[in-house]
Amino acid sequence: MSILSLALQRRWLGWLGLTTLFAVVCVGLAQWQWQRRVETVAEIRVVAQNWDAAPVALSEALPDIEALDPELEWQPVELAGKYLVDEQLLVRARPLNGRPGFEVLTPLMLDDGSVFVVDRGWLPVGSAQDSPDVVPAPPSGRVEVLVRLKPGEPELRGRGAPEGQIATINLPDVAERVEAGAVVTGAYGLLDSESPEPGTRPVTATRPVPDEGPHLSYTFQWYVFALMGFIGYGWALRKERQRIVSEETGVPIPVRARTRASDADEEDALLERR
């Protein structure tokens, strides 16, 4: 019986279908990992492009106050106004270096009357309560700040928070909580510096580490798995044909013998190495 005629049998066609399905799934996962890598590389490029860029005015970086151009994420922006301390919010579940904590959002009333949300940094969970022990006060009066633009975060349905805290930086949600003016919902800002400089302040954000992660190796891994599926199918098909031929001819399947050097050969090899 030929390999082809065996492969066309119903049982082996079924195994071929399963192998093909397995390969399709592996290729899909490989492409997903590749897309993740493409997105990560793009994020690294945007950070490298914008982190050290010259600061610009908010109107230049965010002409549409309801949407941020992804190419302008991390762009430094200079702002001036007055912090609305009474409207301040804490963002829950923000770990830093393995420690649980909060982000401090302080709205800034700009000179034109609009409100821009400033993330002034990170604070650890308190020693005896589910909130920071102390929230450092921002500078009072008129302040000039340098921030880096970040898009808002999606809403987390079903995730609650105590009074004065929120579960995610969803800017439309923040806008509903701030009563002092119209909130810019296209982006918020990670604080870099502020003048006058306060005595203490939360831990400010640091530059993201340019790490692509394992996506490229995972991509190749899934392609290898797809190939190994067909190799395994071919090996099993060949073994089955050998078994059928052996039964039809009465000739046993040849077994590859393991060769082992004799004791005399091993002694001769030891003598030669001395």
The four Cα atoms 77, 81, 86, 89 give a dihedral, to 10 degrees, of: 0
Is residue 154 a contact partner of residue 170, using CB atoms and an 8 Å limit? yes
Q: Round to whole Å and give the CA distance between 142 and 244.
A: 89
Same domain, 18 and 71: no
Q: Round to whole Å and give the CA distance between 25 and 224.
A: 12
Residue 80 lies in a domain: yes
* Structural domain total, the chain: 2
Same domain, 117 and 7: no
- pLDDT computed for residue 65 by the predictor: 82
Q: What is the pLDDT of residues 58-101, one digit of tens each?
A: 999 998 888 899 999 999 999 999 999 999 999 998 999 889 99
Same domain, 40 and 58: no
Question: Which pairing describes strands 142-150 and 76-83: parallel, antiparallel, or unpaired?
Answer: antiparallel
Q: What is the pLDDT of residues 235-265, one digit of tens each?
A: 998 888 888 777 777 767 666 655 555 566 6
The range of the structural domain enclosing residue 159 comes to 53-195
Q: What is the pLDDT of residues 192-240, one digit of tens each?
A: 999 998 888 999 988 998 888 999 999 999 999 999 999 999 999 888 8
- pLDDT computed for residue 8 by the predictor: 81
Q: What is the pLDDT of residues 10-48, one digit of tens each?
A: 888 899 999 999 999 999 999 999 999 999 999 999 999
What's the N-to-C CA distance of the chain in angstroms? 55
Q: Round to whole Å and give the CA distance between 104 and 87.
A: 11
Within 10 angstroms of residue 255's Cβ, the number of other Cβ atoms is 6
pLDDT band at 110 (very low <50, low <70, confident <90, very high): very high
Handedness of CA 263, 269, 270, 271 (dihedral sign): positive
Residue 263 lies in a domain: no
Position 127 pLDDT exceeds 90: no
Same domain, 177 and 236: no
Residue 83 lies in a domain: yes
